[in-house]
Amino acid sequence: MSDAKSPFELMMQQAQEMAKAMNPALETFTPKGFDSLWPTMPKEWMEMAFGNAFNREGLDAKTRLFLTLAGLTMQGAQAEAQIRMTVRHLLEAGATKQEIGECIAQMSMFAGLPAMTRAGEIANDVVKSHEDAKKQGDEE
């Protein structure tokens, strides 16, 4: 058997070595949870920036976020952090768990069942975290 590496494997190995040389902490870096570093925008700010504040006849922020979630679902697991942030923002904009699920399910016809399933798992995780945080806030 040959131990020859593909050009992609060689490129990845070289990138890992470069990252380790620049900052040893990057060797163990994982993007999981990276999305939590970005704050959730208040609903009013989203409406001003992405909604109908400047285009009164246009789409509101919640609708724009649903379109974003649909597009991200099409990308499958490649967009986990972006899906997490978009679902967080949808919840802030007033979307329900059912609406989020319907948006993702609608994409099954276009993105396929694996992409829909993965987006659904990610969204469920975010919704559960959101509900747990609300419960904890109510108890305090």
Asked if 40 contacts 47 with a C-beta cutoff of 8 angstroms, the reply is no
Reported pTM: 0.69
More confident residue, 11 or 46: 11
Judged against a pLDDT cut of 60, whether residue 2 lies above it is answered with no
More confident residue, 15 or 67: 67
**CA 70 – CA 82 distance, rounded (Å):** 12
Share of the chain above pLDDT 90, in %: 40
Every domain of the chain and the residues it spans: 1-29, 37-139
Judged against a pLDDT cut of 80, whether residue 113 lies above it is answered with yes
More confident residue, 44 or 92: 92
pLDDT band of residue 37 (cuts 50, 70, 90) is: low
Architecture of the domain defined by 37-139: Up-down Bundle (1.20)
Residues 55-71 pLDDT 10s? 777 888 899 899 999 99
Residue 17 carries which DSSP code?
H
Convert 35-64 to b/e letters by CB count within 10 Å (16 or more is b).
Answer: beeeeebebeebbeebbeeeeeeeebbbeb
Scan for tokens 């802030």, then name that residue: 92
